[in-house]
Structure 1
Amino acid sequence: MKITKTILPYLFIFFLIYWGPTSVGPTTFSQVWKLPLFGFLIWQIVVIRNREKPGFIKWSYARAAKNLVTGGFSVSYVAGIIDFVRYMMFPLMYEYAALKLKGPKNLDKILLGFAQFIIISGIPFVLGLLQTKAKDALLYKDFDSYGGMFQNTHGAAITTTTAVLILLAFLKLKSSIIKYKKLNYALLVFGIYLIYLTFIRTGYAMFFIGLVFIFMPKKLSIKQIVSALVAIAVLVFGFFYLLETNETFYNRIFDIRNGKQTAAGSGRLLFWKASFDLWFSGNMFEIFFGFGYEGLLDKIGEVTGIRVYAHNEFFTQLGQNGLLGVTFFIGYLISLFKFIWKRRKMPSYRLSLAVYFLYVSLMLTQGGMWFELDVFMVLVFVKLEFESAIFKKAVEQRKVLQGTIKAS
C-alpha cells in the first residue's frame, strides 16, 4: 500500500508531462492542465494567504505581470496571457511550498524523489518501450536525440541535468534519507548517460557548471587542487575522445545538422541581432514596454526564416517586454543571488548556488520558462529558506539561554 501511494503520484506526473505536446484545439495539453493548477495556486496564495515575500519573489511577480502590457498585446493578447501564466508559476509554487511543506526532511524526500523520478522516467525510452513525443527529436536525420517524456530535447537535457546534480549533491552529503546507495549511484551513472544522449550543448554546459559549484571547496588545499586537476583532465580527455570517435557527438558540438554546417550557435547571433534591431526601431512606448511575443517572433522570422524566440532571455525580454522586461529580469537575478548569498552558512548553499548558476547559463544560451526546472528551483530554494529559519531560531534560543544563565 505504501509503495502504491508513492508510485501513483509519479505515474500521474509522468502522464501529464508525456502528453504535454499533444494538441488540444489551438493550444497543447501542457497548457490545459496547468490552468487549473494556476487557478488553485492563485486561490491559495493571492486570495487566502498573506505573508512576507522574499525580494526575488516580488521581482518574479513583476516579470509575470509585465507580459500583460506590451506594444503588441492588443494583437497577440492570448500569447501575452499564456506568458503571464507561465511566469507566474514559479513564484506561486514557491509560496505554496513554503507554506505547505512540513519542514526540511519532508522537503528533502520530495526533492530527492522528484530527481530520481526524472532519471528513472528515461528507462522506457532508452529500452524502446515508449517513443518520445519531443518534436525536435524528429528533425535530425543523422541521429536520435533523447527527448524522453519531455516536449523537446532541450527540456530533457535541462531537467535531467538538474536532476542528476541534485542526486549527486545528496550522495555527496551522505544524506540520511538516501536508501540503497549502490542503486542510487547506478541511477546517477544512468542519468549522466541520458544527458549525453540528448546531444544538447546547453545541457553539457549546465552539467559542468553544476559540478564546479557542488565540489568547490571552502578552502583550497594541495590535495583538492590535484583532485580538481585530475577531474578536469578526465573530463577534457573524455570530451576529445568522443569528438574523435563519435560522429554524432562531433556533429552536435559543431552544429552540423543533416550533413550541413549551420550558423554559429544555431543562428543565435542572428536571433540576438534581430531582437536588438526590433527594440531599437521602436517608438518610446515600445522601447520601454516591448513588442510582445508575436512581434518578436515575426521579426526573427523575417530575418532568419524561423519564428523562434531569441535563445537568450536578455534579448528575448528586450524585444518582447522592452527595457522594463530586462530591468525586472536583472532585478530578479540580483535579488535571488542575494537571497542565496545571505544563507551561505546553510547546508544547501552549494546546491542552491549550483542551481542558480546553471539557471543563469541556461538564460544566456536558451532563455524561456521551463516548468520542471521551476519545480526543482522552488524545492531547492525553499529548502534553503527552511534551513535558515531553523538556524535563526537556534541562535535566538541560544541567546535567551545565555541571558537566563547570566541573570541567574
Structure 2
Amino acid sequence: MPILPRLRFFIYQGARKLFAMLPQARRHSVYRSFVDCDPAPNPRLVLKIAETREELEACFKLLHDAYVASGFMTPDASGLRVTIYHALPTTTTLCAKLDDQVIGTLSLIRESAIGFPLQRIFDLSGIRAKEGNIAEVSALAIHPRFRRTGGTILFPLMKFMYEYCTTFFDTRHLVIAVNPRHIEMYESLLYFRRLTASVVENYDFVNGAPAVGATLDLRHAPDILRKVYAGKPARRNLYHYFLETRLPNIQMPHRRFYTTNDPVLTPDLVDYFFNQRTRVFAELSDRKKALLHLIYDLPEYRAVLPPLPPDPTGAHVRQHRRFSVKCPARLIGEQAGKAIPIEVNEVSRYGFRARTARIVPTGVWLTAIVQLGSKEVSRLTVQAVQETSQDDRHYCGFRIGEPDLVWRKFVTALYQGHTHSDLDHATRFLQ
C-alpha cells in the first residue's frame, strides 16, 4: 500500500477508536450534529413504491451489489438479492429514483404466516404484547455515488418510509436488525431502542455477519423527536423534517379503499423473480411451500408457485381468506346503548374483525356502519361472536347476517384483485 493511502487508513482507524471511547451521550450528539435534511431535494428525485419489473429488478440488483460489497451475502449468479419475504403480498419495496435510475431502496415486511427475518434470532414477544402492527425495515441500500453526500438520498427515503408506515401501512412498531457498527446511527438520530443488550454474532440471513436488533414505537416517536430536536435549525431538525415538511418528490400510492397493503406481484412477476431469475422457490422448505399456497390461494398463482409437497395424511387445510384493512365504523342498536366506535382491520365474505374501545354485547344483532372508502359505506346486520382484550383494548369478531351489495362487491373485488391497481379497477363500479 502506498504511503499516503496507508497514512489515511491509520488516521481513520485511530479516529474511530477515539470516537468509540467517548461517552454514549456525546457520541449520539456528534451523530445528530451531522444531520442535514434538504427540505427541497432535487426535483428529479422520485420516491415511490417499486411496482414494475424494471423497478423491482433495479432494487434487487442494487441490494445485491451493496450486500456483496459489505460481506452480507456471497455473489448470486442472478446478480439479484431476492428472498422469500420479497414474494409476500404484505411486503412493500420502496425506491428512490433519479432520472429514472434506482439509487436507493428499502423493504417493509409486515407480519404474515412466514413471519419476519429477524424473529429467527430476536424475541419479539415484548413488542407483540403491545397494541399495534409490526413491520421490519429490511433490505436497505443506497447507490455508492450517494453514500457520502450527507444523506441526500437516505433522509428522503427514511421520510418516505415514516410517512408510508404512519399513514398507509397501519404500522405502529418498526423493528430492524443491523450490523453493530451502524446501530448507533439509528439510536442517536431516530431513537430506536435495542431489543437486547447483547449482539448476535452470527446472523444467517446476512451471511453470518453480527447483528443488533432494535425497535421504534411510531406512536411515541413524534414526542421524542420534538424534545430532542427542539431549537435545532430546520435542516438539522428531524422532527421538522419528518412531521412538518412536505416533499413533493414522494408519490404515495393511490387507494380507493382503506386497505393497508400495496401488493404489486402479478403471477408473471412472481414467476419471473422467484422461478426464472432466481431459485428462491426451488430452495424453500416444504413448510414454506405450503404456507405460500395458503397466502396465494388464487387459481392464477398456483401455476407459478412451487409444487405442494405430498401430504401423507391426506388432510385438507381449511382456508378462510381474510384481507387487511383499516376502516372506521360504528355499532348501533338498542342493546349497544350509545353508538360504539370501532375500527375494522380484517374482512372476509361473511365476517370481520375489529378493534373497539369497550366490550360489545354478544348474542344480539346490531347494525354496523362501515366506511369502506372515501365514498363507499356499507350498512350491515352483525353479531359479535368472539372477544379478546389486550392493553385495555377490546378485539371482536363479527358474523354478518346478510351482507349488503356494497360489502359483497367490495369483498369480491378483494378476492379478484391481484394488486392494488387491480383493486382500484375492479371497484370502479361502486361510484
Structure number with larger C-alpha Rg: 2
**TM-score when scaled to structure 2?**
0.24
- Higher RCO (CA < 8 A, seq sep 6+): 1
Q: TM-score, normalised by structure 1?
A: 0.25
Determine which structure has the larger strand proportion and give its number: 2
Which one has the bigger helix percentage? 1
